[in-house]
Every structure is written in C-alpha cells, then in structure tokens.
C-alpha cells in the first residue's frame, strides 16, 4: 500500500489555489463550448454498492457550470450536477431562503459555527462539480433501498465521497450542528476535501438530526458500508480514523469506543484514531482509541477546560492523546481559516499517521 505523503499547510494552500484555478478554467471552457448541462440520471433502484449516479446522461464529461461566491444557495442546492443530494449541501430543515442569499451568506444558516470562509465553501462545491464532470460517484447511500423504504427518515442520510490514492486508508468526518442541522459545507466537506488532496479516501457523513442515537446509527451504517465495499472503492480499511466537530465529535468518540455493532452496524475493528474538535463530551470508557482534540479558548459552548479534563483522564488511563487550544477562537471554527487555529489539520493528520 502506498502511504500518502503529508504536505505542509503552505504547500496545501498552494495546491488548493492552483487546483481551484485549473478547475475553474477547465470547467469554464467546457461550459462555453456548449457542453450538455443536463443533470445526472436518476439513480437506479438497486441495492448498494451502486452510488448516486454522477456523470452526465451521455456518459461524457458534463461541463457543468462552476459556482462562485455570488451563486445563490437555492442554485447550489438545485445545481444540475447534484441531483437529489444537492439538498444536503446547505442546512435547510426550515426550507431554503428565497431572498437571494448566496454562498457568501451560508454562515447565516450555521448558528453553532463561526469563521465560515466563503472561499472554502466555493472550493468544496466546485470540487464536487469537478468530480461529477469526471464521472466519479460523489454520493453513496448507506442504507439499502428496502431499509430506506421501511424508515423514510433514512432518506436523509448518505456519504459524500472524495477519492484518495489506490490502497490508501480512509476517514469518515461528521459535522456538528447541535443535532438540529448538519453543517457539512463548513465542518466536514472541507476537511474531507483537504484529506483527499493529501491522498486519503475521505467521506463526509450526512446523518439524521434529532439526537445522538439516530446519528450514531447512521455513522455505524456508514462504517459498515465502507468496509463492505472497500474493494470497489479501492481503499484500505486498516488504520482508519473517525473525525468530528461538536456533535460530530461526540458521534466519533462514541463509535470509536463502543463500535458500530452497538448501534446496529457490523462488528468492526476500532479506528486507529479519533479526531475531535470542540465538544463537551466527557465519557471515558476504557475502550477509547487514541484521541486528538482541539478547541478555541473563547468557545462558549464547549469549554476548553472540559475538553482538556477528558483528554487528561484518557491519558491517565493509558490512551495516547494530543490536545490543542487556540486563542481568540470560538466554537465551530472548522478548518480555522484566518484564525490562530489555521493549520490544526496538519497536526491531526500527523497524529493519525503516528497511530496507524
């Protein structure tokens, strides 16, 4: 197996900027050339592993139009590249705003999050559009059709997927939102894209809101799905990691300690590492995997002192840990672009690699 080579934050930023410029030019040229803008075909009614269809109806690259900061949120959700799963890109439990709000305003729909970076949001959406253009499946259902028919709430679940190098390990990332919304555009999709650019196979989980129980069931189903279809996805299941912010961190820690079988999933090995951002989760089970934790000193929802006490308790129990707190940063900072937390993902990746 080829082990992905970590890159520095500066190298990552350069690659992101170059990749975004290249993508914008390529997709823009295709669009101007008059390529089809028809949406993807409806997914076939077959059980997994068949993912959401993601190529144009002709099977060739679709040349879908890229978005920018001034693209309306409604147009993001309804973008022809995304089909039925576009609704998961923007929290819309109360319905999308019809007042013309754009990607610049997505933070308005993320009340538990801060430091929402519009450039990152645009980058993520365009990366998904680019993957669809290349015919890559970017969304996978985690429940079979029969299970979703039996429980319609499971229609609100799935995995966004960013491809990694052949044979590389994988991570699943769960965004927070107080179990009332899933802040993926800020808190799991950007992380997933960043890890993918470093060579890892990465998934951002769309889970049901309403509480830890159903969210944990969805994470368990997602883990079981990835393990069951590892060969088709071309990934290595050993040494995987679970990531999450806030409510998503609670999910990652819970599944990491108790395992997916406790929530209806398959009996699977524990993750090599759990990567947690800003959560008040306090349980220490005795089965906790190596744990990385980071939080802002100005977090008014998840106190850094509470988080550090748990990390200290884990360390005392013999669990490898790493803890970081950042000044002048509040709750829900995501990648921390433009804050003292920017670059935290480098140390998180290094921690995961250390314990793989």
The H or E element spanning position 162 is strand 158-162
pLDDT digits (tens, 9 = 90+) for 151-179: 999 999 999 999 999 999 999 999 999 99
Is residue 188 domain-resident? yes
Q: In Å, how far from its chain's centre is CA 103?
A: 18
Is residue 121 domain-resident? no
Is residue 27 domain-resident? no
Q: Is the dihedral of CA 6, 9, 14, 15 positive or negative?
A: positive
Token code pair at residue 21: 């410029």
CATH number for position 264? 3.40.50.1820
Helix (H, G, I), strand (E, B) or coil at 109: helix
Give CA torsion, residues 11, 16, 22, 28, to 10 deg: -170
User: pLDDT value at position 94?
Assistant: 60
* DSSP letters spanning 148-159: HHHSGGGGG-EE
User: pLDDT value at position 98?
Assistant: 75
Is residue 341 domain-resident? yes
User: pLDDT value at position 331?
Assistant: 98
Q: Which domain holds residue 245?
A: 140-355
Q: How many domains does the chain have?
A: 1
Is residue 144 domain-resident? yes
User: pLDDT value at position 185?
Assistant: 96
Residue whose pair of structure tokens reads 């990835």 in the numeric block:
226
User: pLDDT value at position 116?
Assistant: 96
pLDDT digits (tens, 9 = 90+) for 72-101: 999 999 999 999 899 999 987 666 777 799
Is residue 178 domain-resident? yes
- The dihedrals phi and psi of 188, each to the nearest 5 degrees, come to -135, -40
pTM, rounded to two decimals: 0.83
Is residue 180 domain-resident? yes
CA-to-CA separations, 142 to 81, 204, 233, in angstroms, rounded: 20, 12, 14
Taking 70 as the pLDDT cut, the residues of the chain under it are: 1-62, 93-95
Cβ-contact 306, 280 below 8 angstroms: yes
Is residue 70 domain-resident? no
Q: Please give the span between the terminal C-alpha atoms of the chain, in angstroms, as a whole number.
A: 13
């Amino acid at each position: 197996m080829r082990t992905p080579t970590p890159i520095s934050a500066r190298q990552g930023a350069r690659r992101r900027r170059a990749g975004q410029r290249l993508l914008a030019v390529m997709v823009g040229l295709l669009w101007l050339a008059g390529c089809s803008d028809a949406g993807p075909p409806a997914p076939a009614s077959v059980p997994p592993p068949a993912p959401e269809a993601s190529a144009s109806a002709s099977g060739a690259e679709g040349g879908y139009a890229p978005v920018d900061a001034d693209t309306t949120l409604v147009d993001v959700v309804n973008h022809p590249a995304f089909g039925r799963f576009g609704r998961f890109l923007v929290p819309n439990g109360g319905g999308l705003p019809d007042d013309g709000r754009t990607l610049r305003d997505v933070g308005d729909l993320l009340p538990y999050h801060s430091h929402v970076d519009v450039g990152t949001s645009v980058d993520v959406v365009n990366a998904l559009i680019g993957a669809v253009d290349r015919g890559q499946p970017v969304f996978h259902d985690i429940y079979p059709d029969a299970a979703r028919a039996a429980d319609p709430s499971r229609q609100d679940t799935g995995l966004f997927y960013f491809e990694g190098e052949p044979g590389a390990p994988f991570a699943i990332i769960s965004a927070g939102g107080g179990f009332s919304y899933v802040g993926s555009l800020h808190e799991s999709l950007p992380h997933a894209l960043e890890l993918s650019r470093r060579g890892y196979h990465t998934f951002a989980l769309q889970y049901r809101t309403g509480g830890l129980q159903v969210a944990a069931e969805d994470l368990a189903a997602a883990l079981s799905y990835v393990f069951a279809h590892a060969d088709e996805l071309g990934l290595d299941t050993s040494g995987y990691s679970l990531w999450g912010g806030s409510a998503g961190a609670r999910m990652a820690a819970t599944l990491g300690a108790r395992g997916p079988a406790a929530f209806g999933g398959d009996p699977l090995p524990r993750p090599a590492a759990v990567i947690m951002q800003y959560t008040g989760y306090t349980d220490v089970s005795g089965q906790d995997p190596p744990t990385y934790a980071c939080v802002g000193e100005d977090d008014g929802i998840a106190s850094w002192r509470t988080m550090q006490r748990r990390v200290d308790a884990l360390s005392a129990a013999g669990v490898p840990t790493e803890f970081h707190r950042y000044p002048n940063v509040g709750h829900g900072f995501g990648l921390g672009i433009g804050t003292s937390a920017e670059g935290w993902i480098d140390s998180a990746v290094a921690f995961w690699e250390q314990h793989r």
